[in-house]
Amino acid sequence: MIISVDELMRMPEFSTISVDTLKRKLNGIEDLVRAYTNNNFQNRMKRFSAPSSDSVLYGWCELLKVGDTVQISESINDGLYVITNIDKVNKTTTLDADLIDDGHNLVTKIEYPDAIVEGVVNLMVWEVQNRQKVGIQSETLSRHSVTYFAQDANNQVMGYPVSLLGFLKPYIKARF
Protein backbone atom coordinates (compact mmCIF):
# COMPACT_ATOMS: atom_id res chain seq x y z
CA MET A 1 0.00 0.00 0.00
CA ILE A 2 1.12 3.51 -0.71
CA ILE A 3 0.12 4.63 2.79
CA SER A 4 -1.16 2.50 5.64
CA VAL A 5 -4.81 2.57 6.65
CA ASP A 6 -3.71 3.30 10.24
CA GLU A 7 -2.00 6.51 9.12
CA LEU A 8 -5.13 7.64 7.29
CA MET A 9 -7.38 6.78 10.24
CA ARG A 10 -5.42 9.27 12.38
CA MET A 11 -6.53 12.09 10.07
CA PRO A 12 -9.90 13.65 10.98
CA GLU A 13 -11.23 13.39 7.39
CA PHE A 14 -11.16 9.60 7.60
CA SER A 15 -12.19 8.92 11.21
CA THR A 16 -15.79 8.04 10.29
CA ILE A 17 -14.91 5.69 7.41
CA SER A 18 -14.54 1.95 7.95
CA VAL A 19 -11.14 0.30 7.67
CA ASP A 20 -12.34 -2.00 4.89
CA THR A 21 -13.64 0.92 2.82
CA LEU A 22 -10.39 2.84 3.22
CA LYS A 23 -8.35 -0.22 2.29
CA ARG A 24 -10.47 -0.80 -0.83
CA LYS A 25 -10.17 2.87 -1.89
CA LEU A 26 -6.40 2.88 -1.28
CA ASN A 27 -5.94 -0.28 -3.34
CA GLY A 28 -7.96 1.28 -6.16
CA ILE A 29 -5.92 4.48 -6.11
CA GLU A 30 -2.68 2.47 -6.01
CA ASP A 31 -3.79 0.57 -9.13
CA LEU A 32 -4.71 3.89 -10.77
CA VAL A 33 -1.30 5.44 -9.99
CA ARG A 34 0.59 2.40 -11.30
CA ALA A 35 -1.52 2.21 -14.48
CA TYR A 36 -1.49 5.94 -15.20
CA THR A 37 2.28 6.28 -14.75
CA ASN A 38 3.20 2.91 -16.26
CA ASN A 39 5.62 2.75 -13.32
CA ASN A 40 5.72 -0.18 -10.91
CA PHE A 41 7.95 1.66 -8.37
CA GLN A 42 10.07 -1.46 -7.78
CA ASN A 43 13.35 -1.26 -5.90
CA ARG A 44 15.21 -4.04 -7.70
CA MET A 45 18.03 -3.88 -5.15
CA LYS A 46 15.61 -5.33 -2.58
CA ARG A 47 14.42 -8.60 -4.04
CA PHE A 48 14.60 -12.34 -3.50
CA SER A 49 13.23 -15.51 -5.00
CA ALA A 50 11.33 -18.14 -3.02
CA PRO A 51 8.82 -20.97 -3.36
CA SER A 52 5.34 -20.43 -1.89
CA SER A 53 2.56 -22.28 -0.12
CA ASP A 54 -0.66 -20.80 1.36
CA SER A 55 0.32 -17.24 2.40
CA VAL A 56 3.95 -18.15 3.14
CA LEU A 57 7.08 -17.58 1.08
CA TYR A 58 9.91 -19.95 2.01
CA GLY A 59 12.60 -17.31 1.93
CA TRP A 60 13.24 -13.80 3.18
CA CYS A 61 15.35 -10.71 2.59
CA GLU A 62 17.00 -8.81 5.42
CA LEU A 63 16.18 -5.52 3.66
CA LEU A 64 12.42 -6.07 3.98
CA LYS A 65 10.27 -5.56 7.07
CA VAL A 66 6.71 -6.15 8.25
CA GLY A 67 4.32 -3.70 6.57
CA ASP A 68 6.34 -3.38 3.35
CA THR A 69 4.54 -3.75 0.05
CA VAL A 70 6.07 -6.30 -2.31
CA GLN A 71 5.31 -7.35 -5.86
CA ILE A 72 5.48 -10.98 -6.88
CA SER A 73 6.31 -11.60 -10.52
CA GLU A 74 7.41 -14.48 -12.72
CA SER A 75 4.86 -16.64 -10.94
CA ILE A 76 1.23 -17.67 -10.92
CA ASN A 77 0.96 -15.42 -7.84
CA ASP A 78 1.73 -12.18 -9.72
CA GLY A 79 0.44 -9.17 -7.80
CA LEU A 80 0.93 -6.80 -4.88
CA TYR A 81 1.05 -8.02 -1.29
CA VAL A 82 1.85 -6.65 2.14
CA ILE A 83 4.28 -8.47 4.46
CA THR A 84 2.54 -9.43 7.71
CA ASN A 85 5.31 -11.49 9.34
CA ILE A 86 8.97 -12.36 8.84
CA ASP A 87 10.38 -15.39 10.63
CA LYS A 88 14.17 -15.09 10.44
CA VAL A 89 14.72 -18.38 12.28
CA ASN A 90 12.68 -20.46 9.80
CA LYS A 91 13.52 -18.06 6.95
CA THR A 92 9.89 -17.49 5.92
CA THR A 93 7.87 -14.43 4.92
CA THR A 94 4.11 -14.31 5.47
CA LEU A 95 1.93 -12.15 3.23
CA ASP A 96 -1.56 -10.67 3.63
CA ALA A 97 -3.20 -12.98 1.07
CA ASP A 98 -3.13 -16.65 0.17
CA LEU A 99 -0.69 -17.79 -2.48
CA ILE A 100 -0.92 -20.70 -4.86
CA ASP A 101 1.82 -23.28 -4.41
CA ASP A 102 4.60 -22.34 -6.80
CA GLY A 103 8.28 -23.25 -6.86
CA HIS A 104 9.42 -19.81 -8.00
CA ASN A 105 8.20 -16.35 -6.95
CA LEU A 106 10.31 -13.28 -7.65
CA VAL A 107 9.59 -10.90 -4.73
CA THR A 108 10.52 -7.22 -5.14
CA LYS A 109 9.99 -4.36 -2.71
CA ILE A 110 7.73 -1.51 -3.82
CA GLU A 111 8.81 1.97 -2.71
CA TYR A 112 6.75 5.09 -3.38
CA PRO A 113 8.37 8.55 -3.20
CA ASP A 114 6.99 11.02 -0.63
CA ALA A 115 5.40 13.07 -3.42
CA ILE A 116 3.30 10.05 -4.42
CA VAL A 117 2.26 9.45 -0.80
CA GLU A 118 1.17 13.09 -0.35
CA GLY A 119 -0.63 13.09 -3.69
CA VAL A 120 -2.53 9.94 -2.75
CA VAL A 121 -3.55 11.48 0.58
CA ASN A 122 -4.89 14.49 -1.37
CA LEU A 123 -6.79 12.14 -3.71
CA MET A 124 -8.28 10.32 -0.72
CA VAL A 125 -9.36 13.61 0.90
CA TRP A 126 -10.96 14.65 -2.40
CA GLU A 127 -12.63 11.24 -2.66
CA VAL A 128 -14.19 11.59 0.78
CA GLN A 129 -15.16 15.26 0.58
CA ASN A 130 -16.07 15.80 -3.08
CA ARG A 131 -16.93 12.53 -4.83
CA GLN A 132 -20.67 13.04 -4.31
CA LYS A 133 -20.42 16.54 -5.82
CA VAL A 134 -18.77 15.51 -9.10
CA GLY A 135 -19.89 17.66 -12.00
CA ILE A 136 -21.22 20.57 -9.93
CA GLN A 137 -19.51 23.83 -10.84
CA SER A 138 -21.62 26.13 -8.66
CA GLU A 139 -24.65 25.86 -6.42
CA THR A 140 -26.92 28.55 -4.97
CA LEU A 141 -29.20 27.74 -2.04
CA SER A 142 -31.68 30.60 -2.23
CA ARG A 143 -34.05 29.86 -5.11
CA HIS A 144 -31.93 26.70 -5.62
CA SER A 145 -29.69 26.98 -8.68
CA VAL A 146 -27.10 24.35 -9.65
CA THR A 147 -24.63 24.67 -12.54
CA TYR A 148 -22.90 21.60 -13.91
CA PHE A 149 -19.68 21.55 -15.91
CA ALA A 150 -18.71 19.16 -18.66
CA GLN A 151 -16.58 16.21 -17.64
CA ASP A 152 -14.30 15.32 -20.49
CA ALA A 153 -10.67 14.44 -21.15
CA ASN A 154 -9.66 18.07 -20.66
CA ASN A 155 -10.62 18.35 -17.01
CA GLN A 156 -10.67 14.85 -15.54
CA VAL A 157 -8.57 11.69 -15.67
CA MET A 158 -9.82 8.35 -14.40
CA GLY A 159 -12.59 10.06 -12.44
CA TYR A 160 -10.35 12.62 -10.69
CA PRO A 161 -9.79 16.29 -11.55
CA VAL A 162 -6.68 16.84 -13.68
CA SER A 163 -5.36 19.34 -11.14
CA LEU A 164 -5.14 16.61 -8.49
CA LEU A 165 -3.11 14.26 -10.70
CA GLY A 166 -0.32 16.70 -11.55
CA PHE A 167 1.93 15.08 -8.93
CA LEU A 168 2.16 11.98 -11.13
CA LYS A 169 3.75 13.71 -14.13
CA PRO A 170 7.42 13.27 -13.05
CA TYR A 171 6.86 9.53 -12.53
CA ILE A 172 5.28 8.68 -15.88
CA LYS A 173 7.31 6.17 -17.89
CA ALA A 174 7.06 5.72 -21.65
CA ARG A 175 4.92 2.87 -22.94
CA PHE A 176 6.39 0.72 -25.69
Mean pLDDT of the chain: 88
Q: Is pLDDT above 80 for 137?
A: no
Q: Binning pLDDT at 50, 70 and 90, where does residue 102 land?
A: very high
User: pLDDT tens digits for 24-63?
Assistant: 999 999 999 999 999 999 999 999 999 999 889 999 999 9
Q: Binning pLDDT at 50, 70 and 90, where does residue 149 land?
A: low
Q: Is pLDDT above 60 for 142?
A: yes
Q: Percentage of the chain with pLDDT > 70?
A: 86
CATH for 42-110, options being 2.40.128, 1.10.357, 2.40.30, 1.10.260: 2.40.30
Q: What is the pLDDT of residue 59?
A: 95
Mean of the pLDDT values across residues 139-153? 62
Classify 154 as helix, strand or coil.
coil
* Domain boundaries, given as residue ranges, for the chain: 5-39+113-171, 42-110
Q: What is the pLDDT of residue 160?
A: 80
Cβ burial of 65 (10 Å; 0-12, 13-18, 19+) is exposed
Q: What is the pLDDT of residue 140?
A: 65
Evaluated on CA atoms 98, 100, 103, 104, the torsion sign reads negative
Q: Is pLDDT above 60 for 135?
A: no
CA distances from 98 to 19, 50, 53, 76 (A): 20, 15, 8, 12
Q: Binning pLDDT at 50, 70 and 90, where does residue 127 land?
A: confident
Mean of the pLDDT values across residues 94-114? 95
User: pLDDT tens digits for 105-120?
Assistant: 999 999 999 999 999 9
